[in-house]
Amino acid sequence: MATVEVNSIATNVAGFAAELAGAKYLNAAANPQAKFVSSAFHKSDATHGKVSGTLTLMGRSMPATFNVTLIGAGPFYGHDVIGVHAETSIMPKDFGLPAVFDEPIELVIDTEFDRPQ
């Protein structure tokens, strides 16, 4: 599962992140988290695959599939580490965003997992 706090949006334009997180757009007060819960992984080759599951945004849940790339894996300073890059796109209207967002929006997750050896 991947979870993002909607209020964690950052932009270079003063006040814009707060506007996006506000009631007019993402309504973070009513729906503070966006999350993806995986249900299946399908390997394409040694470093690529697809992760299917459910994406919840603004209280609406929809099926989603992320294209996943393994960035690297192995021991690193006493930990077993794996780095992953995942991408998908969503249609904003499917999640209740205003009509001003009429083009697909790309979602990207870059993450690293580690476990002490």
Distance CA(33)–CA(35), nearest Å, equals 6
Residue 94 in contact with residue 61, Cβ under 8 Å? no
Lateral strand order in the sheet of 79-90: 2-5, 33-45, 48-57, 60-76, 79-90, 105-116
Per-residue confidence (pLDDT) for residue 100, from 0 to 100: 82
Mean pLDDT, each 10-residue run in order, the chain (117 residues): 92 94 94 97 97 96 97 91 96 89 92 86
Q: Which two tokens stand for residue 39?
A: 């249900």
Question: What is the pTM assigned to this prediction?
Answer: 0.86
Per-residue confidence (pLDDT) for residue 77, from 0 to 100: 87
Domains of the chain plus CATH, in order, are 2-116 (2.40.128.110)
